Amino acid sequence: MTSTLLIIQIILAIAITIAVLLQKSSSIGLGAYSGSNESVFGAKGPTGFLAKATFTLALLFVINTLALGYFYTNQNAASVTDNIVSTNDSSIPMAPAQNNGAPAIPASK
Four-CA torsion 66, 53, 3, 10, nearest 10 degrees: -110
What does DSSP assign to residue 107? P
Each of the 109 residues of the chain gets a pLDDT tens digit; together they read 888 999 999 999 999 999 888 887 655 555 555 554 444 555 555 567 888 889 999 999 999 999 999 988 887 777 777 777 767 656 666 666 666 666 667 777 6
Burial class (CB in 10 A: 0-12, 13-18, 19+), 20: middle
Element (H, E) at 62: helix 46-75
Neighbours of 67 (CB within 10 A): 15
Q: Write down the domain spans for the chain.
A: 2-77
Is the four-CA dihedral 95, 96, 100, 105 of positive or negative sign?
A: positive
